[in-house]
Amino acid sequence: MAATDQPIAQPFDFLSEQLHTKQRGLWAQAWQRLLRNRLAVAAGVILIVIAAVSFAADVSRTVQRYDPTVPDFQATEQNPSWDHWLGTDTLGRDLWSRLLQGTLFSLKIGIGTQVIVLLIGVTIGMAAALAGRVSDTVLMWITDLAYAFPDLLAIILLRQVLLGRDWPIIGEGDPQIPGFNGVLLVTIIAISFVSWTTVARLVRGQMLSIKEQDYVTAARAMGASPWRVVRVHMLPNTLSAVIVSATFGIPLAIFAEATLGFIGLGVPPPNASLGSLIGAGLDSIQVHPVQLIWPTVMVATLMLCFTFLGDGLRDALDPRTRR
């Protein structure tokens, strides 16, 4: 083969390969740092166990033991026993099964909310950072407007508006959405509406900073397309901040749902959420405090575990902590 027939190596391809190798090494180092954080690892293990048991209870009566919605008036307000591990409520419903149902509902709220928040926040943040000054101003004005709404008030108003519409996709108990009834989906949408602004601002700030880095300028000088610069250089370097933000966002969404359930705007009875269980337990705290203890402990456990895991991820992914 003639010398002129040999493929010509592109400098940018070599630089890109080196960058990918370095990024993989940095992620591996971050994983090792996370594993050394015993508190974060313990929190992650606890969350995995809670999620696994809750999801297993949704499909297996062996784990759930009792139907969480069926009362037993012969077993009202019982203390923990072999038949009812956590006791029963004022209607004789098993608190173990209701706690698992409420925990699963809260986990779906937290995870589902962050999926929508990331989709909206990352998209708007990228568009604001990469578009022109006019687009940036308009998008940030929209972000500030959404941020200005009082969170709880906006969630309640949006939730009531959506539930008041006769839409088949978000109607209560829609069989087309297995495991996600209308209240669950509407609550996710309502909480997402007030939560995406933080991610949008974070992504915009990260992108504006990365856009001025030397390696991005070098990639453009070598002829890389704008999409390749974003995909190869900018998004991977923004991902760590987004992951940490999502981890901290999950407990905030869970707490928001618990607040709605506590004031009577959670899932409709006889279904259970952690907030509704706490509200029901508060009514009987003088005569049967065990009904209040378990959902309160579960909310606190979820909040603490996600917070500890988020702290661990932040320390592991922060380049200033590398040593």
Q: Write down the domain spans for the chain.
A: 34-60+88-321
Give the per-residue pLDDT at 233: 77
Per residue in 5-63, pLDDT (tens digit) is 444 444 445 555 555 555 566 677 878 888 888 999 999 999 999 999 999 988 877 78
| pTM greater than 0.75 (yes/no) | yes
Tokens found for residue 255: 């707490």
Give the per-residue pLDDT at 7: 45
CATH code for residues 34-60+88-321? 1.10.3720.10
Per residue in 105-122, pLDDT (tens digit) is 999 999 999 999 999 999
46-51 long-range contacts, CB within 8 A, separation 24+? 46/301, 46/305, 47/302, 47/305, 47/306, 47/309, 50/103, 50/107, 50/298, 50/301, 50/302, 50/305, 51/107
Question: Taking a C-beta distance cutoff of 8 angstroms, is the pair 121, 196 a contact?
Answer: yes
Share of the chain above pLDDT 90, in %: 32
- Would the pLDDT of 209 be above 60? yes
In whole numbers, what is the pLDDT of the chain averaged over residues? 82
Task: Please return the burial class of 21, using the count of CB atoms within 10 Å of its CB with bins 0-12, 13-18 and 19+.
Answer: exposed
The Cα 108–Cα 188 span in angstroms is 9
Half-sphere exposure (CA, 13 Å, Cβ side) for 118? Answer: 20
